[in-house]
Chain A
Amino acid sequence: MGGYEHTLWTLFLPVISFVLLGLFGRKYFSKSAGLIGVFLLLLTTALSLYTAYQYFFVNGLVDGIYQKIDAFKFTWLTFSPGVSIDMGIMLDPISVMMLVVVSSVSLMVHIFSLGYMKGEERFATYYSFLGLFTFAMLGLVVSSNLFQMYMFWELVGISSYLLIGFHFQRPSAVAASKKAFIVTRFADLGFLIGILMLAFYGGSLDFNTIIQHLSAQQSSAYLAATTASFLGVTALTWGLTLVFMGGAGKSAMFPLHVWLPDAMEGPTPVSALIHAATMVVAGVYLVARLFPLYALNGASLEIVLNVGLFTALFAAIIACTQTDIKRVLAYSTMSQIGFMMFALGVSGTQGEQGLGYTASMFHLFTHAFFKSLLFLGAGAVIHFVHSNEMKDMGGLRKWMPLTHLAFLIACLAIAGIPPFAGFFSKEEILLATYNKSIWVYAIALITSGLTAFYMFRLYFSIFWRKEYNGHSHPHEGTMSMKIPLIILAVCSALVGLIPFGKFVSVGNQPLETHFHLMFSILPIIIGVAGILIALLMYKKENDRPQNMAQAFGNFYRAAKNRFYMDELYLFVTKNIIFKWVGRPSAWFDRKVVDGSMDEIANLTLETSKAIKGLQSGKVQRYAMYFFGGIAFLIILFVYILK
């Protein structure tokens, strides 16, 4: 199907930005790098929006189903017949939706950084990294091939690494970047093995072909994958679970979440782009991409559900206790991604049952806007207060009215208050869980109450609580910092009104979603209750928070210390891997392997020393050996070996 060749340019433009600014930026574009980046991204965004328009409104819908369109395909590397990495661009509802999300959030971040990163020494490098990230993320979402996705998956990982460690002279940033990359790399190991398994049984790396082969219950591939088993679990379940492990690593699901809070060491616009709106939802996207397989395989979908649900609650609890505003946002991101995950986990494959799928994607879509807005708002605050800690803030509403308003809208959106965006997507998720299981619904409801509480705790701590008495003079940022806040605030307020089910649904068939007023009352009450509690505790300085903390005692302390997960990881890496694997290997190599080689050499030397005495220089001794030797040979040959 033609007409989509221009989508290739959505990938090329960021690459141009990356290469141009990366190679020549330092020398020639140290001032203009930002504008170049913004310009190229503007074109990319325009192209993505055009693609979305064309796909959803012009020719994507054929016979009531949104078609999968291969806009571009090219065999990049052939492993064996049928199994090859094809670089391609596949358009279907979720990839088109992601194209729009990624490029527009990236554009906002590009614009915001013009002001935020002004005066940085490596300004051009920063923009080139942003270009690399945008390219990789766009490549990831349009992948038509599992392995292509893995490649871009690694590339987003590395650009995240480079951007977290952008302030490379700060040891904490370096440590955080390392941690982020290594933890996700570990998860990617699972992803890679999962790919190998799926490719082996599916006989291909192409998404469509794998899904076709492995979802037809009668096909030989499906039978092979479900009969082969290891430790009592079928190969297909293993493969899907391992692939999910990769997704869980990128999306910071428990227990692979430890890198995300630390990743906040990166510049705040980067956190907004990578660690809130786009890269961290890649795991959700991955599961959604392979959803037909997960849906058929109950065991792996169960894992997705449970991990998502647990993470949502776990992260929400931690978020209530953190004092670093970016970390609160990071845990809130984890919690919201947990929502998306378990929404997928409760989804079925057809019609109304597939509501979870739609809801998950819808939440991904709205979350991208309000979470990036929260981060950019927080970035504006941090930029002028020069601190991440809540105690250094308070009363900022008078100094930064626009930021205040934008932040409030985002908080209302994430808390699920109508008519802001988060309300609609969260409603759908809750509805989907309600249809599936009352327990899941109950936990989801509690979590959404917690969400409202900690977000407004954050909001009141930054903008109310007390009069600002810090040393710096906070004020609104430059135009370039204001514009993205305004645009995103408008989006956060309005995108919930989009009839999302019409565009994205599990069978790519437009789905009518209904709005149940009665059902919505309880979630709204809980959300408002969360806000009210936060209002009581944090609007004015008082000692209720302390009392509360004391009431919870150890539980509070554990949550404040993030349930000691970091310590656990540190223990495992430092004390187990390094001490018990790394050091012994190095020791073994030097002492045993190398030692034995040296020992052989020594042995030769010793032997030669020992027999050196035979070479005495005494002619008569030699003659004795000579005659002795002859006598020995005579005896040997004449008498023994006759």
Chain B
Amino acid sequence: MNLSLLIIIPTIFSLLLLFVNGLKQVRTVSLIAALLQFAMSIYLIVKYFAERAVNKAPFLFEQHYEWFKTPNINYHVGVDGVSVAMIALTAFVILAGVLVSWKMEKLNKEFFFLLLFLSIGAYGFFISLDLFTMFFFLEVAVIPKFILIGIWGSGRKEYSAMKLILMLMAGSALIFVGLAGLYFNTSGNGSFDMLKIASDNISPELQRLFFPFVFIGFGIFTALFPFHTWVPDGHSSAPTAASMFLAGISMKLGGYGCLRAATYMMPEGAAFYSDAIIILACIGILYGAFATMMQTDLKYINAYSSVSHNGFVLLGIGLLTKTAITGAVLQMISHGLMTALFFAVIGMIYDRTHTREVAKMSGLLKITPFISSAFVIVGLVSLGLPGFSGFVAEMTVFMGGWQKGNMFYYVATIAACASIVVTAVYILRVIGSVIMGPLKVNGNEQVVYADATWYEKSSIVLLMAGILVVGILPFAVLRLIS
């Protein structure tokens, strides 16, 4: 399978978008692009399983081209199970994102163009085996978000867009410092190649020096406490599809980066800072959950809960056991699907009620049963109900944490476990006041809204299917990512 196709197809289609006009044509082209990506990701999974059965190399489908000869920068791509899973996640979210933006009127061509552009960045990031290429695609996936929030956003959009981009850029700067440090300390002439860096065994002192740069840099992307403050503002100002992408994929770029670029290449550094990461992750988990409890805006609620949920990713990575890291990867997949669905549903509610204040609406189940049921279900996913993806992921992390067998890890695991109660509190509060109760929106008891349309339904069903597959058949997903 030619991995470059993952980049080429969205590129071709985003260029194609420049030549069509009108919402109908634009969205048709985008939908075809998203569907193609989706089909490709499924094909990739199938091919990967087939190839993995016979090939034991750490990365499959590798491709290697020279890019900048002098500084030894190469276009080097390849996938393992984790990246395949992430690619599939991206394809799911992009397809769902295109579907929920079906009625996007304002500057639609530009909007869909940027959406496809983001997907190029995400795919490129997940398949890169060369740190510079990886960094390049990371930036590709960051910049369009500024425009997406700034133009199509709501609320304090300029402020949020600026905050988001500045913090993510600061993260990128840190990452680059770390990567440059790695580059100049490999044997030979300096290399950005991950496999080479990993096999080079950079001395522990240097690992300890560079690890924080890379880890905190990527940590900013994945809402590492206390660098998470872009999350609530950025998510809540972004248009629905961009929120989905931001929370569903962009935060996973960070998690994946922490795993691949930081932990995988600097194991000694990771071991050295493990305790600090665990402490920060646990603070993030609990504190994010408590902060969520006091929010009144639906998007803020989901954004803060993302901080809490991403804490599990960081916790899993920080624990450094195989089980815990598996749990972290599962949590990335699970949170990506879940939060994308959550934002999609919140967007649908907002389209109808024109408010996101929890206090201003109640009893939506009566008039919009489909959307409301989806909201309830995604809430249950969020609070970790068995049968859905969140449960599997969280339990795997807990199990991994406890197996370290030491009082410090016990306390950390218990703290993380405690968050499931707080999560239940805030999720049920929201469901109780928005979905249940007597019908009332903006003080009006006689409101009528249309239930979900076909494109909304299909995006919900799509993401839900992903969640259920992970939740009910975790052994299949584990076979992929282990």
A residues in contact (CB < 8 Å) with B: 26, 75-80, 83, 147, 150-152, 154-155, 158, 161, 165, 168-169, 171, 174-175, 177-178, 181-182, 185-186, 188-189, 192-193, 196-197, 199-200, 230, 578, 581-583, 585-586, 588-589, 593-594, 596-597, 601
Contact = CB atoms under 8 A, between A and B. Distances in A.
A77 B474 contact: yes
B72 interface: no
B424 A185 contact: yes
A586 B304 CA distance: 10
Nearest to A201: B405
B428 A192 contact: no
B450 interface: no
Query: In this complex, which of B225, B226, B233, B436 has the most chain A Cβ atoms within 10 angstroms of its Cβ?
Result: B436
Given A83-B399, A181-B424, A200-B405, A582 B290 contact: yes
Contact of A75 (B294, B369, B475): B475
Contacts of A79: 323, 396, 399-400, 403
Given A83-B399, A165-B436, A181 B421 contact: no
B462 interface: no
A228 B9 CA distance: 58
A192 to B, nearest CB: 6
Contact of B417 (A80, A151, A154, A189): A189
A175 B341 CA distance: 26
A585 B287 contact: yes
Given A186-B421, A581-B290, A151 B399 contact: no
A585 B294 contact: yes
A78 B392 CA distance: 11
Interface stretch (B123-131, B175-183, B379-387): B379-387
A397 B414 CA distance: 55
Contact of A154 (B304, B385, B398, B400): B385
Contacts of B232: 589
B179 to A, nearest CB: 24
B275 to A, nearest CB: 20
A89 B414 CA distance: 30
Contact of A189 (B166, B386, B399, B420): B420
B323 A80 contact: yes
Interface string B397-440: 01110110101000001100110110011001100100111110
Given A171-B437, A174-B432, A582 B386 contact: no
A154 B291 contact: no
A185 B166 contact: no
B167 interface: yes
B392 A77 contact: yes
Interface of B: 163, 166-167, 225-226, 228-229, 232-233, 287, 290-291, 293-295, 304, 322-323, 363, 365-366, 369, 380, 383-387, 391-392, 395-396, 398-400, 402-403, 405, 407, 413-414, 417-418, 420-421, 424-425, 428-429, 432, 435-439, 474-475, 478
Given A165-B436, A169-B438, A594-B229, A196 B363 contact: no
A196 B435 contact: no
Contacts of B365: 168
Question: Chain B at the A interface: mostly helix, strand, loop or mixed?
Answer: helix
Nearest to A178: B428
Query: In this complex, which of B166, B366, B395, B407 has the most chain A Cβ atoms within 10 angstroms of its Cβ?
Result: B395
A596 B163 CA distance: 12
A597 B167 contact: yes
Query: In this complex, which of A175, A230, A589, A596 has the most chain B Cβ atoms within 10 angstroms of its Cβ?
Result: A589
Nearest to A186: B421
B363 to A, nearest CB: 6
A158 B379 CA distance: 12
Contacts of B167: 597
Contacts of B363: 168-169
Nearest to A200: B402
Nearest to A74: B475
B294 A182 contact: no
Contact of A597 (B229, B392, B437): B229
Contact of A192 (B323, B366, B398): B398
A439 B166 CA distance: 71
A175 B428 CA distance: 9
Question: Chain A at the B interface: mostly helix, strand, loop or mixed?
Answer: helix
A236 to B, nearest CB: 15
A585 B290 contact: yes
B387 A155 contact: yes
B380 A158 contact: yes
A589 B369 contact: no
Contacts of A158: 380, 385
A585 B420 contact: no
B474 A76 contact: yes
A583 B294 CA distance: 6
A196 B436 contact: no
22 contacts: A76-B474, A79-B323, A79-B400, A147-B395, A158-B385, A165-B432, A168-B435, A168-B437, A169-B438, A171-B437, A189-B418, A189-B421, A196-B398, A196-B417, A200-B402, A578-B293, A578-B294, A583-B294, A586-B293, A589-B304, A593-B226, A597-B229
Nearest to B294: A586
Given A169-B366, A597-B167, A185 B420 contact: yes
B327 to A, nearest CB: 9
A200 B407 CA distance: 13
Contacts of A188: 420
Nearest to A597: B229
A158 B389 CA distance: 16
Given A182-B424, A578-B293, A586-B291, A199 B402 contact: yes
A589 B229 contact: yes
Given A154-B386, A578-B294, 18 more contacts: A77-B474, A79-B403, A151-B386, A161-B428, A178-B428, A178-B432, A192-B398, A196-B399, A196-B402, A200-B405, A581-B290, A585-B294, A586-B291, A586-B293, A588-B291, A594-B229, A597-B167, A601-B163
A233 B212 CA distance: 39
Contacts of B229: 589, 593-594, 597
Given A169-B363, A192-B417, A77 B290 contact: no
A240 B179 CA distance: 49
A578 B418 CA distance: 15
B334 to A, nearest CB: 13
A248 B413 CA distance: 22
B478 A78 contact: yes
Contacts of B474: 76-77
A583 B395 CA distance: 28
B287 A175 contact: no
A305 to B, nearest CB: 27
Contact of A155 (B287, B386, B418): B386
A30 to B, nearest CB: 13
B322 A80 contact: yes
Contacts of B383: 185
Contacts of A588: 287, 291
A445 to B, nearest CB: 38
B93 to A, nearest CB: 24
B422 to A, nearest CB: 9
Given A168-B436, A174-B436, A181 B428 contact: yes
Contacts of B402: 196-197, 199-200
Nearest to B418: A189
Contact of A174 (B287, B294, B437): B437
Contact of A80 (B291, B380, B403, B414): B403
A175 B421 contact: no
Contacts of B400: 79
A178 B427 CA distance: 10
Given A182-B421, A185-B424, A193-B414, A589 B432 contact: no
Contacts of B420: 185, 188-189, 192
